[in-house]
Amino acid sequence: MPVVPVRFQARKTVEQVEEGSDLAPKFDERGLITVVTTDADSGELLMQGYMNAEALQLSISSGEAHYYSRSRQVLWHKGATSGLVQSIQELLIDDDQDCIWLRVNVAGGASCHVGYRSCFYRSVPVGADFEKKQTAGHVKLEWTETKKVFDPKDVYGDAPNPTIL
């Protein structure tokens, strides 16, 4: 069966965008929309990425998460290299339609290129805890995951690390 191309509506009024049923996403000056991806079962935040129009269209029509990689500047079918495909259980859009929330199940259970389950494996102490632990305003990050799900070298080999300083 041929895949039907997904079409968006033009953004006309605030009421249409916030209170209506039109899918009228706002892409920024780079042509991108912010994406937040959580584990559909645990609610854990897995990653935050971006989609261009094509990635959003493919995510909707295929039911698998596609992103736009800013560091590699390519359309990115998540899991194409690592096998860690994200199956979309629910795709939501926010009030002003400039952010997408994906609730996904991940084959293999990991989402982070460093090898952890989530990209968010370190926390920062806040409030009274910050006051207690800081030294001259500096605090140490604390690990919330201590065990990697996979070894990045096994999965990505010599592919360049996407992190930009």
Query: Who contacts 94 (Cβ-Cβ below 8 Å, separation ≥6)?
Result: 100, 101
**AA identity, residue 98:** D
Return the number of the residue (83 or 112) whose C-beta is nearest a second copy: 112
Query: Who contacts 2 (Cβ-Cβ below 8 Å, separation ≥6)?
Result: none
Return the number of the residue (74 or 90) whose C-beta is nearest a second copy: 90
Q: How far is the CB of 96 from a second copy (least distance, A)?
A: 4
Closest-CA residue to 95 (of 37, 25, 10, 36): 25
Q: How far is the CB of 88 from a second copy (least distance, A)?
A: 5
Return the number of the residue (22 or 83) whose C-beta is nearest a second copy: 22
Q: How far is the CB of 149 from a second copy (least distance, A)?
A: 13
Query: Who contacts 57 (Cβ-Cβ below 8 Å, separation ≥6)?
Result: 5, 6
Closest-CA residue to 28 (of 59, 52, 58): 52
**AA identity, residue 78:** K
Return the number of the residue (12 or 153) whose C-beta is nearest a second copy: 12
What distances in angstroms separate CA 104 from CA 59, 125, 127, one per listed residue? Answer: 11, 28, 32
Return the number of the residue (107 or 119) whose C-beta is nearest a second copy: 119
Q: How far is the CB of 62 from a second copy (least distance, A)?
A: 6
Q: How far is the CB of 47 from a second copy (least distance, A)?
A: 7
DSSP code for 144: S
